[in-house]
Amino acid sequence: MKQGLKIAIGADHAGFDYKQAIIEALHTQEVKDFGTYSSDSVDYPDFAHPVALAVESGECDFGILVCGSGNGVAITANKHQGIRAAICWNEELADRARSHNNANILCIPARHISIGEAKKIVEIFFTTEFEGGRHANRVNKIAC
């Protein structure tokens, strides 16, 4: 994994334990934790928007969002221009999200994968480079 990345992270109650484990695994990176800070029930947009804003503004290089399915946080984050949030539930999807789609926010479905698999997905996401070329042409057509 590249050193010196600034990574924004956020989760709802379903993703709290995963968020904590991922932060621990990212100990060599600068991580900005946008919450939640317990497993008490909360609303995922309250955490997805601040993570997306941190990436969108350039304050952070990438983001990670965790909720039960990954869908809520991905939908929310993708409302922001310049955000390409991808739900990844296996290593191959994490690779393609980065190499083909230049995703800048990783969305993890906590209720559908193990914490161990989530850590592997994070590792793949942050070690895979965007291929550019024909993929850049497609990514450049995403923004409204």
Residue numbers annotated as active site: 67, 100
Both tokens assigned to 5: 């990345």
Is 120 in contact with 91 (CB distance < 8 Å)?
yes
* Distance of alpha carbon 84 from alpha carbon 124, whole angstroms: 17
**C-alpha to C-alpha distances, 110 to 11, 80, 93, 113, 122, nearest whole angstrom:** 10, 23, 15, 6, 13
Q: Which helix (H) or strand (E) holds 17?
A: helix 16-25
* Distance of alpha carbon 86 from alpha carbon 73, whole angstroms: 10
**C-alpha to C-alpha distances, 8 to 112, 113, 123, nearest whole angstrom:** 22, 21, 15
